[in-house]
Amino acid sequence: MPIKSVTVRVPAKVNLQLSVGPRESDGYHQLVTVFQAISIFDEVTVKIGEQASGINLTVSGDQVHGVPTDASNLVVKAAELIANKFEIDIDVSIDIKKSIPVAGGMAGGSADAAAAIVAIDELYSLDMTREEMHSIASQLGSDVPFLLSGGTAIGQGRGDQLTAALSRGTYHWVLALSSVGLSTPAVYSECDRLRQGLDISEPQISDALMQALLTADPSNVGKLLVNDLQPAACSLRPALRLILDVGQEYGALGAIVSGSGPTVAFLVSDEEHGLDLAVALSASGVVGSVTRAFGPVHGAKVIESH
Ligand code: C5P
């Protein structure tokens, strides 16, 4: 019997290093980043044959607000790219069950796109190679290829040229979420504005961070977290500075704005420390909501197919 429905689970990410080079003529920036996939997951279900033609998109779950359900959603764009490449009609209903914060700097939209690629591949028995999936993913956004593979990886170029990074151990995170997101292009523009007149060098991988990831000791890693977008995110959202300070006061091993923000990620020593910090942050009154996660975890993966 042909498959009629596929569900793919896909994680969020944090950037352990996000080093941003000068703005290029195409508007993008050369990046060197270290991604870690973490245990906050969206689920994307793609079903065949429930409607006559086209793509019908719905969003469910705890993070629905602000997710487009029209052709501007990256899952629709993913389906269109695949339809063109393989010269097939893709008539499906897609449901995104969202838990990854929207516009939170954790690649939620990119994660859904990666999940859609994996789901459509399975549903239409396309047998895409990793390279084919990667090529479609990188046309959709700089973070999409990483969410296909997950784990820990170094991203270069726009962030889409990946090499696996060696990492030992499990890292526990406390995430301070904001109810209002930040626009990634706006944060990059603010970064350019803040750096006007400065001589910005080519970004380099942090060898110290790569060494620290081999020790499996979060206190080594915590000290080396770096995000060049953090001043820009804090400039657009000054409350983030206070959140970073409060987390550090309460003993976080490292504190960083995740990607373009506004989520703030705190590295903690273990689950218990995470629980303590989460309670302290909630009680401080400066954080909207708090969640916990661990990484690294696997990338987009089929969890149901029938
Ligand atoms: O690639 P993606 O669509 O995720 O990028 C969103 C925005 O982030 C881009 O429009 C651009 O403003 C900015 N960006 C950048 N340099 C990168 C990646 C993203 O300037 N390497």
pLDDT digits over 122-144, tens only?
Answer: 999 999 999 999 999 999 999 99
Q: Is the CB of 159 under 6 A from ligand 1?
A: yes
Read off the pLDDT of each residue in 20-26 and give the average, rounded to a whole number: 96
Closest C-alpha residue for ligand 1 atom 2: 141
Cα–Cα dist 164/37, whole Å: 12
Task: Please tell me the distance between residue 246's alpha carbon and the centre of ligand 1 in angstroms.
Answer: 30
Q: Mean pLDDT throughout 286-293? A: 94
171-295, CATH topology level: Alpha-Beta Plaits (3.30.70)
Nearest CA to 156 out of 19, 33, 260 is that of: 33
Each residue's pLDDT tens digit, 181-218: 999 999 999 999 999 999 999 999 999 999 999 999 99
Enumerate the β-bridge partners of residue 96.
Answer: 44, 59
Find all residues with CB under 8 Å of 40, minimum gap 6, and list them: 11, 12, 99, 100, 101, 106, 175, 291, 293
Ligand 1 geometric centre to CA of 38 (Å): 21
| Residue 141 near ligand 1, beta carbon < 6 Å | yes
- Ligand 1 atom closest to residue 141's alpha carbon, by position in its atom list: 1
- Nearest 5°: phi and psi at 116? -65, -40
pLDDT at 3: 84
Token pair of 180 as six digits = 């209002």
Domain extent listing, the chain: 5-164+296-305, 171-295
pLDDT of 93 strictly over 70: yes
DSSP E strands, 247-297: 254-257, 264-268, 289-295
Residues contacting residue 260 through CB under 8 Å, at least 6 positions apart: 105, 182, 183, 184, 187, 188, 229, 232, 233
pTM of the model as a whole: 0.97
Q: Looking at the domain 5-164+296-305, which fold is it?
A: Ribosomal Protein S5; domain 2 (3.30.230)
Query: Which one of 18, 29, 160, 187 would you pick to mutate in the ligand 1 pocket, going by the greatest count of ligand atoms within 8 A of its CB?
Result: 29
Task: Give yes or no for residue 50 having a pLDDT over 70.
Answer: no
